[in-house]
Amino acid sequence: MTTTVLAAGDHFVLPRLLTEELRAATPAADLDVRELGLPWPHTPFGTVAEVDEASGTEDELIEALRGVRICLTQMAPLTERILKACPDLELFCVSRGGPVNANLEAATRHGVAVCYAPGRNAVATAEHTLALILAAARGIGDVHTDLRHGTWRGDYYDYDRCGIEIDGAVVGLVGFGAIGSRVARVLVAMGAKVLVHDPYVTPEAVDGIADLVPLDELLGRSRIVSLHARVTEETRGMIGREQIAAMRPGSVLVNCARGALVDYDAVCDALDAGHLAGAGFDVFPVEPVPAGARLLSTPGVVLTPHIAGGSREVAHKAARIVAAEAARFLRGETLAHCANPEVLRRR
């Protein structure tokens, strides 16, 4: 019996990558693979009906999913309306660290298993974090801009302007998951003393790499603070004016996690006042960053447009992980990364 599959890729995780990895993972399967190209990142993702961070429209997906049993995607929305219109769908694989573009509750009610791809961009994001730490600690953003406009900033050899070395510095990491733990190991290799705040890990998990400490102690001791936490009710806005004031004078703040973790106006105030020496951000409360936002003109900030997880290797890993889930599903095996396993138990 032929299984119809939709490979709904975009300009990053290409439809052909999803198809190629699926074919490689299921060499004996009788598959009819359809491909759909979504506009992200040329068109920013956004809210589609009740789901966030999605690309494409409900009508587009309803048409593409007719008769489809399995969908492999990165950004396609999975909404109540789509689920009602596509009764043949049984598996929806999201090649991201979490299925934020899928209505999980509705999928469960409709009997659709939703999978995701944890750790797909851990290496890329860890490397980008380190790049922002180094750039912010040494003022690279400002001097790069000035030099391109013809100004030679020799004053960065002034003692009060000199940057921070990683070797011997205390670096605090908020979060010790797949990304934070990689950043920690590299920082230790560079000679840093690493502190970690993460309520979900044990001292044994960080033993030999870092010290597990409360957030207030991490902020007070660290010369560099880097965020690696998910956004929850507990973490939203966790770095605000009070926390920034508790950081050491002349310290650096880096965020490659989520913009909702930080009060960016408070960061700009602290940079303008000289309390923070620098900052590096890849994520923002509103994306793209609005014209006229303070972050775009505040000295000492290094900015990148949410590209920390963007490497060719990530695109291949993402496609490979969801293709492997589809292969397990077709063989009747237990799924490795299912967000709603109760659907499978019900079957």
H or E element in which residue 9 lies: strand 3-9
User: Is residue 80 annotated as part of the catalytic site, yes or no?
Assistant: no
Catalytic entry in 306, 320, 328, 337: 306
Closest CA to 104 of 61, 47, 51, 54: 51
Q: Label residue 165 exposed, middle or buried (CB < 10 Å: 0-12, 13-18, 19+).
A: middle
Place of tokens 């929850």: 232
Closest CA to 320 of 130, 93, 153: 93
| Cross-strand bridge partners of residue 174 | 197, 227
The CA distances from residue 67 to 24, 32, 88, 315, 318, in Å, are 23, 11, 6, 27, 25
Terminal-to-terminal C-alpha distance of the chain? 19
Torsion of CA 71, 74, 77, 82, to 10 degrees: 0
Half-sphere exposure of 123 (CA within 13 A, CB side): 9
Catalytic entry in 275, 287, 294, 316: 287
Are 216 and 195 in contact by the 8 Å Cβ rule? The answer is no
User: Is residue 242 annotated as part of the catalytic site, yes or no?
Assistant: no
Are 101 and 77 in contact by the 8 Å Cβ rule? The answer is yes
Backbone φ and ψ for 322, nearest 5 degrees, come out as -75, -30
Are 172 and 222 in contact by the 8 Å Cβ rule? The answer is yes
User: Is residue 228 annotated as part of the catalytic site, yes or no?
Assistant: no
The CA distances from residue 7 to 22, 55, 64, 71, 331, in Å, are 9, 14, 10, 6, 19
Dist. CA 325–CA 332, nearest whole Å: 11
Dist. CA 20–CA 324, nearest whole Å: 12
Catalytic entry in 258, 320, 328, 337: 258
- Residues belonging to the active site: 258, 287, 306
